[in-house]
Structure 1
Amino acid sequence: MNEKQERFSSAGFILAAIGSSVGLGNMWKFPYITGENGGAAFFLLFIACLLIIGLPLLLAELAIGRNGRGSAATAIVRSGGGKGWKSIGLLQVITPFLILTFYIIVAGWTLHYAVQAFTGNLLQNHDFAGQFSTFVTGGLPIVWQFAALFITGAIVILGVANGIEKFNKIVIPSLIVLLIILMVRALTLPDAEQGVSFFLRPDFSQITAESALAALGHAFFSLSLGMGILLTYGSYVHKEQSLGMATLAIGAGDLIYAFIAGLIIFPTTFSFGIAPDEGPSLVFIALPAAFSAMPYGALFAGLFFVLLAFAALTSAVSVLEVPISYVMERFRMKRKTAVYVICLIIFLLGLPSALSFGDYPALTFGGKSFFDWVDFITANIMLPVAGIGVTIFAGYYWKGAAEAVGLRAGWFRIWLFMIRYIAPILIFLVFLYTTGILKFN
């Protein structure tokens, strides 16, 4: 079997796809945006958005990938889209490439914090805000950026079956064990029931138009849509695999992970009097403070950041495979060479983002740091545009959609309606909102 013929096993494909969605977003971003938008009501809204926009687009990307049997750049063209559609495919290669330049930096942070927790250094100094600031403004993030990228590249270099699949077969079950351990610890903390109530007892008066768009956006991003990952992974799927069942399994995995993350974060924050809407600092500043106040805090802090690091790396592996697949296809490059070249470029391009938190005025412009600009452009512009492109192709131009998707007639009509009329409109609204064009104040 040569590199072009690599395939996932059925179970390996589902675990790898779940791994791509089980990233920092659900453990880091999901809790604080849920806290900002009223808790349980927002979570129910998020579930609805997964069903309305997430799963139909997820299925479309997988089907296009399997039908096209190529990289993200060529899958739509090979599925009958014509050369004019190649730009959408290229966008889904460039976007994850750029995302990884800053995502791998945060993955490095999680590795650093895991080591600091297990060595006992993290909880010795109770100035957690100062500790985090000192770390991100120094040179250490570059070291950990390299470490996270090295681990990611070492997995991808082994290939689809021997690298990505085997890694996810080990890590995803390990994630489940860690999630359960941390959930049990969180649920047994004093006053944990207040956090559970906040997370599971809906107050629909807290829901606004902004909340709805935030839920839509997170449903889109948490499943790794518009990033070329599912197009690429779809090309590695056997013809016998039911894409409909796989889509449900992947969506369920993403939802369960988000649910358990909520049952870890909210009981912990309420138990120690931490506001659940503290934003990104919740994970690296507020939670270490909580761990320092509980028995065996260093152990549970270590387990938490190992969980976070595993989640970050499963997504990073998926993201890296997208440009690797393209470079192998486009330049006839061997996998090992492609990984070396792409990882080196990602590391170098990521340096400005890694240094964005230090005192470098040249890396801040327009009120945003270099890190924030790359995040903003990729997440708020490139991903939605790619997602809209896929919905238009699948809904209006793809003549072989019915056969490729593999749904029964009734379900196919529902899927086609969602892809044609619902998903593109909602994604466009998210695009308008996240870019600041649509405002509610």
Structure 2
Amino acid sequence: MDEHKQEEGTKSNGGDQFSKSGFIFAAIGSAVGLGNMWKFPYITGKYGGAAFFLMFIICLLAVGLPVLMAELAIGKGGRGSVSTSFNRLTRQKGWGALGFLMILAPFLILSFYSVVAGWTMYYAVQSFTGRLFNSADYSAQFGSFIGSWQPVWWQLLAMVLTAAVIIKGVSGGIEKFNKILIPGLVILLLALVVRALTLDGAGEGVSFFLRPDFSKLSAESALVALGHAFFSLSLGMGTMITYGAYVDKRQSLGAATMAIGLGDLLYAFLAGLIIFPTSFAYGIEPSQGAGLVFVALPAAFAAMPFGSLFGGLFFVLLAFAALTSTVGLLEVPVAFVREKFNWSRSLSVVVVTLLVFLVGIPSAISVGGAVGGLQFGDKTFFDWMDFICSNILLPLGGLIVTIFVGWVWKNAAEAAGLKSAWFNVWLFMVRYIAPILVVLVLLYSAGALDFLFKG
């Protein structure tokens, strides 16, 4: 990219950019989310404990990090929203339209993810005040909450908090927010790890988590590990391309990519050291998804000393993780709207936030059926949104990135900032290995490979 395009790109994103450390904090914040707290324990336990965790690390290195660097390079090279960056980096028509899929995905994800973020904030308040532990029937409590209109208002609060960060800009909002919340999240993680490891019977949970069972590894477990490595880094949803547009042009993408991957891996590991010891100490099956977090674990907190405190800290941890992700998700469509309509950041944030909230209302009321249920086929509206985004849009986004960087964009080396040997390795992974594996994840996630794993 020549200097003229570099300057043009800087103007298009408002002339705002991250500091070197601020970018890494923001990117880690976007990658750290709720999935590692309820999905990671389930799939780790099901597919071999430490053996699966080792597979996850391999997939993170082989596919996750190369695709992550590809997304960051597109943003750094294009210096604009996702669609604009694709357009600027090639003369071939149509790539901007494909890039729009990676703007639609975070918009739709945020519409239902903000609902769950609201749940975590509600439960944090309920735990700290002690009201969560007034009744031992935690399943009924959760059902009563999600079956009411309350999730709509908590979703609105999550969106307002997210918008309040985004409206202050990149350095003054996103960066400062993550520089506060990420250290806070680490402190909460470590405090809860210490609490979990000192519970009676915690050793059995640690052994279950860290003892490898290679007999459970299979082609299916490899695809699950690959999918989790892909999704846990927020790939395919445009966030890393958008954040890459705000990177200092002197920033080393190689070092940043490794730091983000290490942060994501550390969070998953510490989450395991919280969930498994706590689950085994209180006889909880760590394979219940949302039920684990909002039904089973409250029972564990009720039984432990100072349970309301530690329960409150746990849900604050989840709220922190959720909000650092919602910030990254909202910035993607906001950046697009600012460029498309030449609106101010404030107006763009208000309009997009309102639209996300309105689209999210059906998700908020469909899970528990506040208005009699919104179910289509065998899934609620919430489940359909999750399925479409996670199993179709995100893998498609990842495939678009690998094809674009591997075969279309000619100046990827300049943006990536890699020396020739490392660049050749990275390009080989992006061009040949990653697309094949991403297609397999797409087919598996969509259920097209189920016939291979039956029986």
Give TM class, smaller chain: over 0.9
Partner of 1:418: 429
- Counterpart pick for 2:314 among 304, 320, 337: 304
- Counterpart pick for 1:24 among 7, 15, 34: 34
- Whole-angstrom distance in 2 between the partners of 1:81 and 1:70: 16
Q: Name the aligned partner's letter for residue 357 of structure 2.
A: F
Partner of 2:25: 15
Following TM superposition, by how much is the alpha carbon of 1:77 offset from its aligned partner in structure 2, in angstroms?
Answer: 1.6
- Whole-angstrom distance in 2 between the partners of 1:83 and 1:93: 18
Secondary structure of 1:190's partner?
Answer: coil
Q: Name the aligned partner's letter for residue 262 of structure 1.
A: G
- Cα distance 1:35–1:280, how it changes in 2: closer, same or farther (>3 A)? farther
- Whole-angstrom distance in 2 between the partners of 1:215 and 1:308: 22
Please tell me whether residue 221 in structure 1 is matched to residue 224 in structure 2: no
Please tell me whether residue 432 in structure 1 is matched to residue 443 in structure 2: yes
Partner of 1:175: 185
Following TM superposition, by how much is the alpha carbon of 1:33 offset from its aligned partner in structure 2, in angstroms?
Answer: 2.0
- Whole-angstrom distance in 1 between the partners of 2:299 and 2:220: 31
Secondary structure of 2:82's partner?
Answer: coil
- Whole-angstrom distance in 2 between the partners of 1:231 and 1:81: 19
Following TM superposition, by how much is the alpha carbon of 1:38 offset from its aligned partner in structure 2, in angstroms?
Answer: 2.6
Following TM superposition, by how much is the alpha carbon of 1:49 offset from its aligned partner in structure 2, in angstroms?
Answer: 0.7
Indicate the larger mover: 407-416 or 166-175: 407-416
Contact between 1:33 and 1:279, CA under 8 Å: does it hold in 2?
Answer: no
State the identity %: 62
Partner of 2:148: 138
Aligned runs of 1:374-393 on 2, under 5 Å?
374-393=385-404
- Whole-angstrom distance in 2 between the partners of 1:4 and 1:82: 26
Contact between 1:45 and 1:212, CA under 8 Å: does it hold in 2?
Answer: yes
Contact between 1:81 and 1:397, CA under 8 Å: does it hold in 2?
Answer: no
- Whole-angstrom distance in 2 between the partners of 1:82 and 1:160: 30
Q: Name the aligned partner's letter for residue 368 of structure 1.
A: K
Partner of 1:110: 120
- Whole-angstrom distance in 2 between the partners of 1:404 and 1:201: 41
- Whole-angstrom distance in 2 between the partners of 1:91 and 1:372: 20
Q: Name the aligned partner's letter for residue 419 of structure 1.
A: V
- Counterpart pick for 2:329 among 295, 312, 319: 319
- Whole-angstrom distance in 1 between the partners of 2:368 and 2:180: 36
Partner of 1:232: 242
Following TM superposition, by how much is the alpha carbon of 1:361 offset from its aligned partner in structure 2, in angstroms?
Answer: 5.5
Following TM superposition, by how much is the alpha carbon of 1:278 offset from its aligned partner in structure 2, in angstroms?
Answer: 2.2
Following TM superposition, by how much is the alpha carbon of 1:101 offset from its aligned partner in structure 2, in angstroms?
Answer: 0.5
Please tell me whether residue 351 in structure 1 is matched to residue 383 in structure 2: no
Q: Name the aligned partner's letter for residue 423 of structure 1.
A: A
Q: Name the aligned partner's letter for residue 406 of structure 2.
A: G
Aligned runs of 1:267-346 on 2, under 5 Å?
267-346=277-356
Contact between 2:103 and 2:237, CA under 8 Å: does it hold in 1?
Answer: yes
Partner of 2:4: none
- Whole-angstrom distance in 1 between the partners of 2:38 and 2:21: 27
Q: TM-score, normalised by structure 2?
A: 0.95
- Whole-angstrom distance in 2 between the partners of 1:282 and 1:362: 23
Q: Name stretches of at least 5 consecutive residues in structure 1 with no aligned partner.
A: none
Please tell me whether residue 264 in structure 1 is matched to residue 274 in structure 2: yes
- Counterpart pick for 1:162 among 169, 172, 184: 172
Please tell me whether residue 192 in structure 1 is matched to residue 208 in structure 2: no
Q: Name the aligned partner's letter for residue 253 of structure 2.
A: L
- Whole-angstrom distance in 2 between the partners of 1:29 and 1:326: 31
Contact between 2:83 and 2:98, CA under 8 Å: does it hold in 1?
Answer: yes
Contact between 1:244 and 1:406, CA under 8 Å: does it hold in 2?
Answer: yes
Following TM superposition, by how much is the alpha carbon of 1:362 offset from its aligned partner in structure 2, in angstroms?
Answer: 6.3
Q: Name stretches of at least 5 consecutive residues in structure 2 with no aligned partner.
A: 1-9
Following TM superposition, by how much is the alpha carbon of 1:40 offset from its aligned partner in structure 2, in angstroms?
Answer: 1.3
Partner of 1:203: 213
Contact between 2:367 and 2:373, CA under 8 Å: does it hold in 1?
Answer: no
Q: TM-score, normalised by structure 1?
A: 0.98
Following TM superposition, by how much is the alpha carbon of 1:257 offset from its aligned partner in structure 2, in angstroms?
Answer: 0.5
Q: Name the aligned partner's letter for residue 240 of structure 1.
A: R
- RMSD over aligned Cα, in angstroms? 1.2
- Counterpart pick for 2:52 among 36, 39, 42: 42
- Whole-angstrom distance in 2 between the partners of 1:344 and 1:24: 23
- Whole-angstrom distance in 1 between the partners of 2:312 and 2:141: 16
Deviations 1:197-241 (Å, cap 9, x if unpaired)?
Answer: 111111011112221111111111000001100100000001110
Contact between 2:48 and 2:213, CA under 8 Å: does it hold in 1?
Answer: yes
- Whole-angstrom distance in 2 between the partners of 1:76 and 1:85: 6
- Whole-angstrom distance in 2 between the partners of 1:73 and 1:370: 28
Contact between 2:27 and 2:243, CA under 8 Å: does it hold in 1?
Answer: yes
Please tell me whether residue 401 in structure 1 is matched to residue 397 in structure 2: no
Deviations 1:278-337 (Å, cap 9, x if unpaired)?
Answer: 232111111111111100000000000000000000000000000000000110010100
- Whole-angstrom distance in 1 between the partners of 2:19 and 2:273: 32
- Whole-angstrom distance in 2 between the partners of 1:205 and 1:85: 44
Q: Name the aligned partner's letter for residue 434 of structure 1.
A: S
Following TM superposition, by how much is the alpha carbon of 1:96 offset from its aligned partner in structure 2, in angstroms?
Answer: 0.2
Indicate the larger mover: 417-426 or 204-213: 204-213
Secondary structure of 1:43's partner?
Answer: helix
Secondary structure of 1:4's partner?
Answer: coil
- Whole-angstrom distance in 1 between the partners of 2:69 and 2:145: 41
Secondary structure of 2:102's partner?
Answer: helix
